[in-house]
């Protein structure tokens, strides 16, 4: 009689071991599925983030075309100890945008007055060297950038280009 219960125990262990293997396989499959899903989601997220940063780079790359404002020629007497000297100069301003062009054009009498005062205060020897011309460019930018009204916004001038420069 002792043999019969032992067979029953073996029979009952076999189905329990089969159920635990199925559970283990289901758990492993679920874990693998979750890992694949999380990995795929992360890959998609990172690729979207990388593509959006590339799009931002592409959007930032196309620089605006420069906006220029040509000024009428200036002719001024220069400071000189060796007789009469004069400067005839034509220049073009590089500004931020069309709004700046409109603002400067609307205030052109102030701009011309500022530049005439600046140019006529120069000595001929001072502006003939390349360093003197660079200094003059910076001074012109400073004068034109000054606000037209008290407590107003300064103009955004990014460059001055001489198109004619004659000292006699």
Overall domain count for the chain: 2
Query: Pairing mode, if any, of strands 74-78 and 67-70?
Result: unpaired
Q: Which tokens go with 151?
A: 């407590």
Check whether residue 74 and residue 146 sit in a common domain: yes
Check whether residue 136 and residue 118 sit in a common domain: yes
Please return the burial class of 91, using the count of CB atoms within 10 Å of its CB with bins 0-12, 13-18 and 19+.
buried
Q: Which tokens go with 115?
A: 């530049």
Listed in sequence order, the DSSP H helices in 61-129 are: 98-106, 108-120, 124-128
Instruction: Report how far apart, in Å, the C-alpha atoms of 110 and of each of 6, 120, 124 are.
Output: 113, 15, 24
Coil, strand or helix at 152: coil
What pLDDT is recorded for position 42? 74
Please, what's the largest Cα pairwise distance for the chain? 141
Q: Nearest-CA neighbor of 71 among 90, 98, 97, 86?
A: 90
Pick from 62, 83, 114: which residue ends a domain? 62
User: What CATH number should be reported for the domain holding residue 93?
Assistant: 3.30.479.30
Q: Nearest-CA neighbor of 168 among 81, 72, 90, 83?
A: 83
Check whether residue 72 and residue 155 sit in a common domain: yes
Pick from 62, 86, 110: which residue ends a domain? 62
| pTM for the full predicted model | 0.63
Which residues on neighbouring strands pair with residue 164, listed in sequence order?
A: 90
Pick from 12, 34, 62: which residue ends a domain? 62
Domain that holds residue 110: 67-167
Check whether residue 25 and residue 43 sit in a common domain: yes
Positions of E strands within 7-156? 67-70, 74-78, 85-95
Check whether residue 109 and residue 138 sit in a common domain: yes
Tell me the mean pLDDT per 10 residues along the chain, length 168. 51 60 83 79 74 59 84 94 90 95 96 96 92 96 95 93 95
What pLDDT is recorded for position 36? 78
Check whether residue 85 and residue 17 sit in a common domain: no
Check whether residue 57 and residue 84 sit in a common domain: no
């Amino acid at each position: 009689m002792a043999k019969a219960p032992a067979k029953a125990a073996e029979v009952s262990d076999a189905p329990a071991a089969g159920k635990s293997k199925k559970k283990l396989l289901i758990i492993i499959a679920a874990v693998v599925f979750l890992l694949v899903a999380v990995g795929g989601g992360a890959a998609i997220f990172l690729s979207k983030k990388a593509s959006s940063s590339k799009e931002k780079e592409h959007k930032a790359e196309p620089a605006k075309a420069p906006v220029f404002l040509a000024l009428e020629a200036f002719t001024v007497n220069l400071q000189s100890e060796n007789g009469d000297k004069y400067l005839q100069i034509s220049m073009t301003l590089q500004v931020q945008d069309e709004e700046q062009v409109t603002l400067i054009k609307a205030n052109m009498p102030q701009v011309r007055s500022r530049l005439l005062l600046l140019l006529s205060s120069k000595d001929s020897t001072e502006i003939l060297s390349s360093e003197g011309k660079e200094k003059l460019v910076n001074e012109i930018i400073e004068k034109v950038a000054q606000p037209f009204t008290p407590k107003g916004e300064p103009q955004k001038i990014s460059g001055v280009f001489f198109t004619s420069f004659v000292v006699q």
